[in-house]
Amino acid sequence: MFKSYPALAMDRSDQASSRDRHDKRADMLFHLVVKGCALLVLIALLGAAFSMLWGGREAFATFGWKFLWSSDWDAVQRKFGALVPIYGTLVTALIAMIIAVPVSFGIALFLTEIAPVWLRTPVAAAIELLAGIPSIIYGMWGLFVFVPFMAEHVDPWLDENLGALPITGPLFQGAPIGLGMLTAGIVLGIMVIPFVASIMREVFLTVPSEIKESSYAIGSTTWEVVWDVVLPYTRSAVIGGIFLGLGRALGETMAVTFVLGNAHLLSASLLEPGNSIAATIANEFTEADSPLYLSSLIALGFLLFAVTFIVLAVARLMLMRLAKRAGENRQ
Question: Residue 286 CB, nearest distance to another protein (Å)?
Answer: 7
Measured from the CB atom, the residue of 173 and 315 that comes closer to another protein is: 315
Q: Do 163 and 172 meet the contact criterion of CB atoms below 8 Å apart?
A: yes
Residue 276's nearest CA partner among 246, 307, 304, 248 is 304
**Which residues 6+ apart lie within 8 Å of 91 measured at CB?**
181, 185, 270, 274
Q: Shortest approach of another protein to residue 70 CB, angstroms? A: 21
Of 214 and 268, the one with the shorter C-beta distance to another protein is 214
**Closest to 90 in 3D by CA, of 236, 315, 270:** 270
Cβ atoms of 55 and 298 within 8 Å: the answer is: yes
Q: Which is nearer to another protein, 180 or 194 (CB)?
A: 194
Nearest approach, Cβ of residue 166 and another protein (Å):
30
Phi, psi of 168 (to 5 degrees): -85, -5
In angstroms, rounded to a whole number, what is the distance separating the alpha carbons of residues 82 and 64? 12
- Residue 167: CB minimum distance to another protein, A: 28
**CB closer to another protein, 87 vs 302:** 302
Nearest to 317 by CA among 205, 260, 240, 242: 240
Smallest distance, another protein to C-beta of residue 62, A: 18
Nearer to another protein, 6 or 219 (CB): 219
